[in-house]
Structure 1
Amino acid sequence: MRTVVVTGSASGIGRALKGLLEADGHRVIGVDLRDADVTVDLTTDAGRAELVEKVTALSGGTIDAVVANAGLSNGSPATLAVNYFGAVATLDGLRPLLAGSDAPRAAVTCSMASLLPVDDRLVELTLEGDEAAALARAAELTEAGTGDIIYGSSKAAVAHWLRRAAPTADWAGAGIPLNAIGPGIVQTGMTREMLSTDESTKAVEAVVPMPLGGIMGPEVPAYLLRFLVSPENSHMCGQVVFVDGGSDVVFRSDKVW
């Protein structure tokens, strides 16, 4: 039995992953704002510190995997705070607990939205680690009516961070594969409103083409996350694996392989 920490475990992809892992006989320490083993707010430093403290206590100081899955998409600075700073704090904060595992693994939920237009200044400030300045920039975008770009920008920053961090001594050098998934449009609470009518669904599909299978249920990316944090995944390092029905290849064709 492995012990896996999953943030955003109360709904969507996180809940689907929790179910898969528990069905496999593993222990899941769920983290969310509600209905979880650890209830914390990952938009705050206090919540991130409390996450580490409570997971350490519940796990006895050793975990086998962590999945930083919690996310928002509401066009506000909180989206950036959770999607990037909360995710990185989760992974960095819980990394020491992986040292006692025979097969430590880590993953983060990115998105195909990372391939869409982003706010370069927001991504730059985020990657510099200046949370106050990045949140101020996000607030400017929200006030200007362009807050929708925050989500994709936050996920692009996650992808950049992943590629930089994964091969370092802290991760690959410590024997910890660190990777990400890049889902397309998933039927979750986050997307419920945008998929609420045939007209709105068609509008989404026009922006995010998914020629293979179309819009997916949360179990589809959850299956991929299950593999990424399994002992069988021994050599993937810093990969954003797109499970997007083909959006990546439609957008980038053979320019990336």
Structure 2
Amino acid sequence: MSRVSVVTGAASGIGRATKELLESRGERVIGVDIHDADVIVDLSTAEGRAGLADGVRRVDDGPVDAVLAIAGLAAAAPPTVAVNYFGTIATLEGLRPLLAGSPAPRAVLVSSMAALMPTDGELVGLLAAGDELAALARAGELAQDPATTGAQIYSSTKLALDKWVRRQAATEQWAGAGIPLNAVAPGIIATPMTADLIGTPEARHALLGLVPMPLNGIAEPIVVARLLAWLTSEENTHLCGQIVYVDGGSDVVLRGDSVW
């Protein structure tokens, strides 16, 4: 029997590439997005998050084998906090009960190598505390200067997600239930989210100066999709709590061996 996966952000970018890849392999995919998806919800809102599980059940009332939390924003604005962090956590925690009936349940979220960039400690702390109102307010303060502090909104949400994965993956709710929980951290990917940043040779050169990708440069969404497909496959039995960089070498260049 083919596996059933839920993919958020399925209408474009990495989410769309992942949905199409899994479907090409004969899997059943329930796409979630704010438009052009099987389940239409807005993960920036409490109402959208609360309706996600019911929406998935209406499409397919059987067990779910994998949850891929891919939906995200990169704007220097509070909605990035709402979708990237609170929407992602609500997706994974809200759909986790649907994984219980699978013989090989899997879960993964999309982070970013941006977590290695400057972040705002106060915002990261508020995210870890689950204080959405305060986190949105802090993001509003940071957004007043989009070019400097505003840029830290996105990176802070991704760092907070990395920390959440590390704290949760080995718990009874995840590893104890036989669910490998991991994250991928892409470098620069050619998606609608990055279109303005890589639209000219000059822009691409400038961005790669900040995010070095010595191995093959800027990647297409399918590169990340292939990794996500393996992480949520039956083959992945023991990878637990890992942030897997698929960044053309950015992490290596920026951190070297300092991680040990």
Q: Normalising TM by the smaller chain, what interval?
A: over 0.9
Q: Distance in 2 between matches of 1:54 and 1:182?
A: 28
| Aligned match of 2:227 | 224
Partner of 1:234, secondary structure, is: coil
| Aligned match of 2:11 | 10
Asked if residue 62 in structure 1 is aligned to residue 80 in structure 2, the reply is: no
Segments of 4+ in structure 1 off by > 6 A? none
Asked if residue 153 in structure 1 is aligned to residue 147 in structure 2, the reply is: no
1:243 shift after superposition: 0.3
Partner of 1:36, secondary structure, is: coil
Partner of 1:206, secondary structure, is: helix
Partner of 2:83, secondary structure, is: helix
TM-score (structure 2 length as normaliser):
0.97
Asked if residue 21 in structure 1 is aligned to residue 22 in structure 2, the reply is: yes
What percentage of residue pairs aligned between the two structures are identical?
59
Q: Distance in 1 between matches of 2:190 and 2:145?
A: 29
Unaligned runs of 5+ in 1: none
Equivalent AA in structure 2 for residue 16 of structure 1: A
Q: Distance in 2 between matches of 1:184 and 1:202?
A: 14
Equivalent AA in structure 2 for residue 152 of structure 1: S
Equivalent AA in structure 1 for residue 195 of structure 2: R
1:73 shift after superposition: 0.4
- Map residues 1-257 of structure 1 onto 2, 5 A cutoff: 1-145=2-146, 146-256=149-259
Unaligned runs of 5+ in 2: none
Partner of 2:182, secondary structure, is: strand
Partner of 1:85, secondary structure, is: helix
Partner of 1:224, secondary structure, is: helix
1:47 shift after superposition: 0.3
Partner of 1:113, secondary structure, is: helix
Partner of 1:57, secondary structure, is: helix
Q: Distance in 1 between matches of 2:62 and 2:50?
A: 15
Q: Distance in 2 between matches of 1:188 and 1:21?
A: 19
Q: Distance in 1 between matches of 2:34 and 2:55?
A: 14
Q: Distance in 1 between matches of 2:35 and 2:121?
A: 33
Q: Distance in 2 between matches of 1:84 and 1:13?
A: 17
1:147 shift after superposition: 1.3
1:72 shift after superposition: 0.3
1:61 shift after superposition: 4.5
**Pairwise CA RMSD:** 0.8
The alignment covers a number of residue pairs equal to 257
Partner of 1:143, secondary structure, is: coil
Deviations 1:123-169 (CA, angstroms, capped at 9, x unpaired): 00000000000010000001243211101100000000000010000
